[in-house]
Structure 1
Amino acid sequence: MNRWVRTGIGFLAASQTSVGIWALLLPVNFFSLEVVGMGMAYNEHLMRDYGAMTLASAVVLGVATVHMGRILTVVALAMYLTWAVPHFIVHLTMLDHIAPSTGVVLITALGVAVILSAGLLVCVVSSGSGMRGPGR
Structure 2
Amino acid sequence: MQRTITRILLVFFGLVEVPVGLWPLISPTGFYQDFPGFRSGWVAMDGPFNEHLLRDFGGLNLALAALLIGAAVIGTTAVARLAAVSALLFGAPHFFYHLGHVGHFERIDQVLILATTGLGMLLPLALLLVPGRRVSSPATP
Change in 2 beyond 3 A, CA 1:111/1:74: same
Of residues 117, 128, 131, the one that matches 1:110 is: 117
1:97 match: secondary structure: coil
1:96 match: secondary structure: coil
Change in 2 beyond 3 A, CA 1:7/1:130: farther
Tell me the residue number matched to 1:13.
Answer: 14
- 1:22 aligns to 2:29 (yes or no): no
- Deviation, 1:113, is 2.8
- 1:53 aligns to 2:60 (yes or no): yes
Tell me the residue number matched to 2:93.
Answer: 86
Verify the 8 A CA contact 1:21 1:51 in the aligned structure 2: yes
Runs of 4+ in 1 over 2 A off after TM superposition: none
- Deviation, 1:73, is 0.7
Q: Find the aligned partners of 2:70 and 2:3 in 1 and give their Cα distance.
A: 15
Q: Find the aligned partners of 1:43 and 1:102 in 2 and give their Cα distance.
A: 22
Q: Normalising by the residue count of structure 1, what TM-score does the alignment of the two structures yield?
A: 0.87
Q: Which runs of 5+ in 1 are unaligned?
A: 132-136
Q: Find the aligned partners of 1:19 and 1:108 in 2 and give their Cα distance.
A: 16
| More helix as a share of residues | 1
Tell me the residue number matched to 1:37.
Answer: 44
Q: Which runs of 5+ in 2 are unaligned?
A: 36-40, 136-141
Verify the 8 A CA contact 2:95 2:120 in the aligned structure 1: no
Q: Normalising by the residue count of structure 2, what TM-score does the alignment of the two structures yield?
A: 0.84
AA of the residue aligned to 2:132: G
Task: Give the length in aligned residue pairs.
Answer: 128
AA of the residue aligned to 1:128: G
